[in-house]
Structure 1
Amino acid sequence: MSDDFNFSSPPFDQLRPFEREQLRDALSVGYYAVGEVLLEAGAAVPSLFVLLKGVIEERGEDGRLFAQYAAEDLFDVRGLFSGSSKHRYQAVEESIVYELPAGVFHQLCAGNPDFARFFRADLASKRQLERRDGQNLAEFILTRIAREHLLPAIEVEPTLPLGDAARLQLSRGADALLVREDGELGIVTRTDLMTAHFRDGFGEELHIGPLAHRPLSHVELGDFLFDAMILMTRQRIERVAVCEEGEVVGLLHLTQVLSLFSTHSHVLALRIARAESEMELRAAAETLHTLIATLAGNGIRLRFIMQLVSALNEQLLERLFELQVPPALRGRCCLMVMGSEGRAEQLLKTDQDNALILADDLPAEQGLLLMQRFSAALLDFGYPPCPGGVMASRPEWCKPLAEWKRDLLDVSLQGRPEQLMRLSILADAWPVAGNLQLFEGLRESLGELAGDNIRWLSDLALPALQFDTPLTFLGQLKTHDAHLDIKRGGIFPIVHGARALALREGLAERGTLARLAALQRLGVLDEALADNLAESFELFLQLRLRQQLAGQRDGREQGLDVSRLSRHERDLLRYGLHVVKKFKQSLTRQFHLETR
C-alpha cells in the first residue's frame, strides 16, 4: 500500500527522489477499529501518522474535542518535536493510517530544509505558503483529465471470489475493480473488500458481484478535473470512471484531484457531511466565506466557483434537514430552494428562499413546525429571512403536493400578477433534501405550462423590462453618487428574461448560463447575443462579489461603486449593459411587449 502514498501533497512534494524511497521503505500501514486508541496523552510519539481512510479524533484529558482528522491529514507533529503526545488520539471510524517512524521523520527534516519548514513555519511563512498554493488554483481549474491522471480500470466477472479480487488489486496496483452484470457496470473498491472480510466476516470464496455499487458515475476523458471534483462532491463518492467514446478507459480518485489543491481544501465538505450538531454545522458554514474569497482572489472563473459553492450549500442544507427532521418524516416531504440558490448562482449568504412539498397525507401544521425551526437555524447560520416571506416556515410555501399542483393549474387558467410572481419563483426551484420524487411531481406540472400561445406569458416576461438600464442618452454609465444598482440594471433582466424564455420553451435547465446556452441551441437567441449575455452576467456578478468581499461580505448588497473600478472595468461594464439593453429589445419583440 505504500506504493500508493501521495507524494504530490505538501509537504511530501518537497522530498527528493532518494528521500521518497527512504520514506517508502520505512512506511508501515496500521488498521484501527472503531474506538481503538492510536496515542494516549503523555505517551511517546513513535511515528508521524498520515490518515489514509477514516476519522481520528484528538481529545484532551477532560474529553474536550480539539480536532478531527480526515483523509490525508497528518498528526502528531507537535508530539514528535516535544517528545510526547499532549492529547489522546482515537479512531471514531474504521481507519487506515500510514505510519512513518519518528527517527526517519527527523532524518528527513534534518536533510531537507524545505520539508522541515512546513512543520516549523511561523504564521507569516504559512501565509506565504498559502499564497503560493493559491497560485496553482487557476491552473487546476483549467486542467483537463488526461490518461496520465488515471488508475487502471480492471473489469472482472461478478463470480470472482473475494480473495482473488483482493490479490488481483494488490498485484495490479488497482484501487477498485469494475464488475459487469446484466450489461451494467458497477464498482467494488478496496474498502468494500476490506469491509466485507474484516467487518462482515465474509470468507474469501464469496463472489464480489453483490458488493458492486451501481450506477457507475463517470466523466469523459478531456473534461475538466474540476468537473470531476464537483461530481464527487455532489454524490459523496471518491472515484469516478473516465470514459472515451462510450468505453471506460480508467478510474479517477479523489485524492488525485485533491492533490492539486492545498492539503485541507476538501475538509469543508467532510465537515458538513460529518456534522453531528447544529453548532458543528454552523462552524462549517462560516468557512464558506474563506473558500469563496480564496478562489475569487486567485482569478478562478465565477461559473466554477458558483458550481462548487452550490454543491456545498446544498450539502449544508441537506445535513441541517437530516439533523432536524425525524427519519420517519424525511420520506414524506421534500425541501427545495429557489432564487439564486435554486439556480446554483448563490455565492455569499443572501435571503432564505426555500419551500417544502408535503406528501398529501402529512398535515401542513406538522411541516410548518419543522420548518419554523429550520428557518431559525438558518438565521443563526447568517442567512437572513426573505423580506417577501418566501420561506418554508410560511403556510403559502409549505403545502401538500396536490395543493402545489392545483396552484399551478390556477396559474394557467387565471394568470393573476401574484400568481405569476410565484410561478417565476418556482421556476428556479431545486430539491436538496427529503423525498425527491415529490419534486418530480411538481416539475411535471411546471413542464405542462410550456407553450408560446399562453396569454399570460407576456405578463410573466414583463418584469424583465421594469428597471431602467443604467446608461445615459449618450451611452455612458448612469450613476447616483458614483453608485450603480447592478442587480436591477444588469443581473435581474438577464436572469428573468432567460427564465421567461425557458418557461415558454419548456426547458428543464437549472441556471441562467445553462438556460442561455439551451436557448441558443434552439435558435431562440442568436449565438452572439447568447454568448455576450453569458459573459456580461459573469462580469456583473464578479464585479459585485469583489466589492462585497472587500466590504461587509453581505450577499444582499447589490450596488457597485463605479469609482473603485478601473477604466478597463468601466468599459466592460458599459459594454455589458448595452448587451442587456439589446436583450430587452429581443424580449420585447418575442413577447409582443411593444405597447406595454
Structure 2
Amino acid sequence: MSPAPSPATEVLKEFDFSVPPFDLLTREQAAALGHRMDIGFEPDGACILEAGTSSNFLYMILKGHVAALDVRDDRPEPEIFAEYGPGDLFGSMACLTGESRHRYEALEDTLLWTIPADAFRDAVESNGRFAAYFLESLSRRASLLPVTETSSDLGELMLTRVGEAVLAEAVILPAGTAISDATRGMRDRRVDCLFVDTPSGLGIVTRTDLLEAIALGGHALGDDVAPLASLFQALVSMTRHRIERVAVRHKGQLLGTLGLAEVLSHYSSHSHIVGLRVARAGSLEELADAARGLTPLVRTLHATGARMRQLGELVSALNARILSRLYEITLPRTLQDRCCLLVLGSEGRSEQILKTDQDNALILGEGVSDADVAGYAERITAGLKALGYPPCPGGVMVSNPEWRGTVPQWETFIQKLVASVSPQSQLDTAILIDAHPVAGDMSLFEPLRAALSRLGQNQIWLHHFVRPAIEFHTPLTMRTPFGKDPKVDIKRGGIFPVVHGLRVLAVEHGLDCTNSFERATELAERGVMSAALTADLQQALAVMLRLRLGQQLESVQEGAIPDNRIDFGKLRRLDRDLLRDALRVVREFQEVLGSRYRHGL
C-alpha cells in the first residue's frame, strides 16, 4: 500500500459509521476503530491483495475501482468474479482467516480507506452482530440488514373513499320475482345479494335469506322474493350494528353493494381486488381490466418489502385464476371438463412475478380431437396477449399443435425429448418438468407427472441435462467498456444455475413439487444438500429475484420492456454486497453439482 498523494487530503473526510455494517458498532467501538483508520493509494494495475494470502488491512474504496479475480490452477488466466467501487469493502476474510478468496487488483488509480487487521479483529471479537455480518452465512447476513420501511395498510384503508373500493354489481329485481329466478340471477350475475323494488321501497335479499326461506321458512321456489327483502332504511340502521353488507349510492343512483369481502380485499394490499374482479369477469374485456391490477399490486408489495417467495406464490395464484377464468370464458362447457390447461416454466414454479412470455400447454381427454380444440386454443393465446401476456418466442403455447395433445401423445413427446440432447430439447424438457395444472380436469395431468418423474431413473440423461447449470457464470462489472452493454444477465449466470440445478436434483429424487424454494427444502430434508447450503441457496435466489424485479419495475415505469438484465453499477452498496455473496453461493452450488455429476460430463 502506497502513501496517499498530497491531493488525497482534499478528499479525506470523516468516515461515515452510519452505513452498514459499521452501524452495528457501539459509539465506543466505532471511535476505537476510527482512531486506527487511514487512507492509502494504489495505482492502476497494482495487486492489492493476492489470492490465498492474509491481509494487513480491511479495505473500503473511497475513489476508483478494484477487480476481484478468480485464480485457479485449472484455468490459464484469472477470471473476473466482480468489480468493487466506492463504498465497497473487501479483504475481510483475509484478515479473519488468513486466506483471501480472490486476487484484488486496482482497475484505475484508487484511494482506499484502510482499517488495520488487528483493529478490525478487535471490533469483530467485541460485537457479535458485527462479526456475524462477516462470518455468518448469506441468509444470516441478510437478516442483519435494514428492511424496507413498509407502508401502512391500515392508514391506506382509513383514507380510502367508499367509491374507490370495488363494488359488487347492483342487481335490481321487480316485486313478484320468484325465489328460483332470484337464485338463478345471483348465480348468473356472480353476486351474493339482490335488490328488490317493493312498493315500500328498495329492499335487499342475500344468499342466506334465500337458503333460510327454503330450508327453514317453508317457502316454495315459486314464491315471491319481495317479502324476504329487508327494507333499505332498516338495512342502514343495522349497519351500525355490524351488518355485513350495505348499498352504495351516489347522487341518488345505486352504484352497487359493499360487503366485508370487498373491505378486507382493499385492506390486504389489493390482492383480493384482483381475485374478485377475475371471479366476476364475464368477458375478455372485464378479465383484461382485472389483469391490469397485477403490476400495480406487484409494485406495492415489492416496495413494502414482501418476501420474494410469498410474492411469487401470490402472483402465480392470481395468474392461475386469470387463466382459469379465460379457459372458462373461451371453451364451451362440453370441453372444459375434458381437457386440462397447464402452465409451464417459471409460472409452473410459482416464480413468475411480472407478465412475461406465455408458457402453457393443453392435455386433451379421451374422445377429444385436436380439431375440436384448435380454434379455442388460438383464442386462448390471443386472449392472453390481450390480457398483457406476450406470446412465447419459442411457440410454447396452446395455439401451437406441438404443445397440445392426448395423454398418449404427451407421453410419446416426452420420450422424444429425452432421446435428444439438443439444447432445444433440454429447454423444452425443463419447462415441462415444471408444469402445473390450472384449469379443466386436473386428473389428466397425473400420467404426465408420472412420466416426468421416471426421468430421474435415466442417469445418462441426467448428466447431459445438468450441464447448462454448471457452465454459466456472470461477472459483476461496474465499469462499461466502450461499445458494451452496461447490464449483466442475472438469469443466465445466477438465477438459472440455481433453478435448473434444483430441478435436476428434484427429478433425480422423484420430487413432485415444482417451486425452487420448496425443492431446496425437500432436498435438504432428504439429506441431498446440507442445511447451510440450502438456506444460502434460498436466500441467494431471493436476492437475485428481488434485484431483478426492482430493475424490471423501473423499466415498466419508463415504458421499456422488462428483461433479465441488471445494471450492477446502479445498485445500492448493500445490494451489491448481497449480490456478490449470492453469486458466491451460486458458484459453490455449481461445484457441488459438478462434483456430483462429474463422471458423466
- Which aligned pairs between 1:131-170 and structure 2 lie closer than 5 A? none
Equivalent-residue separation in structure 1 for 2:403 and 2:454 (angstroms): 21
| 1:12 Cα deviation from its structure 2 partner | 9.3
Equivalent-residue separation in structure 1 for 2:208 and 2:162 (angstroms): 24
Say if 1:522 and 1:558 are closer, same or farther in 2 by CA, change over 3 A: same
Equivalent-residue separation in structure 2 for 1:469 and 1:347 (angstroms): 23
Return 578-587 or 299-308, whichever deviates more.
Answer: 299-308
- Paired residue for 1:507, among 505, 511, 515? 511
Say if 1:366 and 1:565 are closer, same or farther in 2 by CA, change over 3 A: same
Say if 1:414 and 1:49 are closer, same or farther in 2 by CA, change over 3 A: closer
Equivalent-residue separation in structure 1 for 2:263 and 2:534 (angstroms): 32
CA contact (8 A) 1:53 1:96 kept: no
Equivalent-residue separation in structure 2 for 1:409 and 1:561 (angstroms): 41
Say if 1:260 and 1:417 are closer, same or farther in 2 by CA, change over 3 A: closer
Secondary structure of the 1:447 match is helix
Give the letter aligned to residue 461 of structure 1. Answer: V
Cα shift readout 1:281-314 (whole Å, capped 9, x = no counterpart): 0011111111000111111112121111111100
Q: In the alignment, what sits opposite 1:490?
A: 494
Say if 1:49 and 1:564 are closer, same or farther in 2 by CA, change over 3 A: closer
- Paired residue for 2:380, among 353, 367, 374? 374
Q: In the alignment, what sits opposite 1:460?
A: 465
| 1:520 Cα deviation from its structure 2 partner | 0.9
Q: In the alignment, what sits opposite 1:95?
A: 193
Q: Is residue 295 of structure 1 aligned with residue 288 of structure 2?
A: no
Say if 1:478 and 1:428 are closer, same or farther in 2 by CA, change over 3 A: farther
CA contact (8 A) 1:367 1:398 kept: no
Q: In the alignment, what sits opposite 1:55?
A: 168
Which structure: larger Rg? 2
Say if 1:11 and 1:348 are closer, same or farther in 2 by CA, change over 3 A: closer
Q: Is residue 532 of structure 1 aligned with residue 545 of structure 2?
A: no
Q: In the alignment, what sits opposite 2:212?
A: 197
Cα shift readout 1:161-220 (whole Å, capped 9, x = no counterpart): xxxxxxxxxxxxxxxxxxxxxxxxxxxxx977534223xx223599xxxxxxxxxxxxxx
- TM superposition score normalised by structure 1: 0.58
Q: In the alignment, what sits opposite 1:585?
A: 591
CA contact (8 A) 2:194 2:206 kept: no
Return 564-573 or 548-557, whichever deviates more.
Answer: 548-557
Say if 1:49 and 1:317 are closer, same or farther in 2 by CA, change over 3 A: closer
Say if 1:299 and 1:96 are closer, same or farther in 2 by CA, change over 3 A: farther
Cα shift readout 1:435-470 (whole Å, capped 9, x = no counterpart): 11111221122223333x532111111111232232
CA contact (8 A) 1:54 1:94 kept: no
Q: Is residue 312 of structure 1 aligned with residue 315 of structure 2?
A: no
| 1:579 Cα deviation from its structure 2 partner | 0.6
| 1:418 Cα deviation from its structure 2 partner | 4.6
Secondary structure of the 2:598 match is coil
Give the letter aligned to residue 412 of structure 2. Answer: R
Equivalent-residue separation in structure 2 for 1:364 and 1:429 (angstroms): 21
Q: In the alignment, what sits opposite 1:325?
A: 331
Cα shift readout 1:303-344 (whole Å, capped 9, x = no counterpart): 121111111100000001110000000111110000111100
Cα shift readout 1:355-376 (whole Å, capped 9, x = no counterpart): 0001142111322221111111
Structure 2 gap ranges (5+): 1-152, 173-188, 196-204, 220-243, 245-258
- TM superposition score normalised by structure 2: 0.57
CA contact (8 A) 1:348 1:555 kept: no
Equivalent-residue separation in structure 2 for 1:308 and 1:448 (angstroms): 30
| 1:417 Cα deviation from its structure 2 partner | 5.4
| 1:552 Cα deviation from its structure 2 partner | 2.2
Q: In the alignment, what sits opposite 2:83?
A: none
CA contact (8 A) 1:309 1:346 kept: yes
Q: In the alignment, what sits opposite 1:437?
A: 443
Secondary structure of the 1:540 match is helix
- Which aligned pairs between 1:321-470 and structure 2 lie closer than 5 A? 321-410=327-416, 418-451=424-457, 454-470=459-475
Equivalent-residue separation in structure 1 for 2:479 and 2:156 (angstroms): 50
Cα shift readout 1:378-398 (whole Å, capped 9, x = no counterpart): 112221111111111111101
Equivalent-residue separation in structure 2 for 1:509 and 1:421 (angstroms): 19
CA contact (8 A) 1:493 1:580 kept: yes
Equivalent-residue separation in structure 2 for 1:263 and 1:56 (angstroms): 22
CA contact (8 A) 1:52 1:96 kept: no
Q: Is residue 271 of structure 1 aligned with residue 263 of structure 2?
A: no
Say if 1:265 and 1:465 are closer, same or farther in 2 by CA, change over 3 A: closer
Equivalent-residue separation in structure 2 for 1:528 and 1:555 (angstroms): 37
Q: Considering Cα pairs closer than 8 Å and 6+ residues apart, tell me whether 1 or 2 has the greater RCO.
A: 2
CA contact (8 A) 1:334 1:436 kept: yes
CA contact (8 A) 1:344 1:511 kept: yes
Q: In the alignment, what sits opposite 1:121?
A: none
Give the letter aligned to residue 347 of structure 1. Answer: I
Equivalent-residue separation in structure 2 for 1:262 and 1:396 (angstroms): 41
Equivalent-residue separation in structure 2 for 1:373 and 1:294 (angstroms): 32
| 1:51 Cα deviation from its structure 2 partner | 14
Structure 1 gap ranges (5+): 1-7, 15-47, 60-90, 98-189, 207-237, 239-252
Say if 1:290 and 1:360 are closer, same or farther in 2 by CA, change over 3 A: same
Say if 1:254 and 1:347 are closer, same or farther in 2 by CA, change over 3 A: farther
CA contact (8 A) 1:309 1:347 kept: yes
Equivalent-residue separation in structure 2 for 1:58 and 1:373 (angstroms): 30
Quote the RMSD (CA, aligned, Å). Answer: 3.6
Cα shift readout 1:541-560 (whole Å, capped 9, x = no counterpart): 11011111122266751111
Equivalent-residue separation in structure 1 for 2:265 and 2:282 (angstroms): 27
CA contact (8 A) 2:340 2:439 kept: yes
Give the letter aligned to residue 383 of structure 1. Answer: Y
Equivalent-residue separation in structure 2 for 1:257 and 1:530 (angstroms): 39
| 1:413 Cα deviation from its structure 2 partner | 6.0
Equivalent-residue separation in structure 2 for 1:466 and 1:53 (angstroms): 50
Percent of residue pairs identical = 40
CA contact (8 A) 2:193 2:206 kept: no
Give the letter aligned to residue 302 of structure 1. Answer: M
CA contact (8 A) 1:56 1:95 kept: no
CA contact (8 A) 1:470 1:477 kept: no
Give the letter aligned to residue 520 of structure 1. Answer: A
Secondary structure of the 1:520 match is helix
Secondary structure of the 1:356 match is strand
Equivalent-residue separation in structure 2 for 1:424 and 1:558 (angstroms): 18
Q: In the alignment, what sits opposite 1:281?
A: 287
Give the letter aligned to residue 456 of structure 1. Answer: W
Secondary structure of the 2:566 match is strand
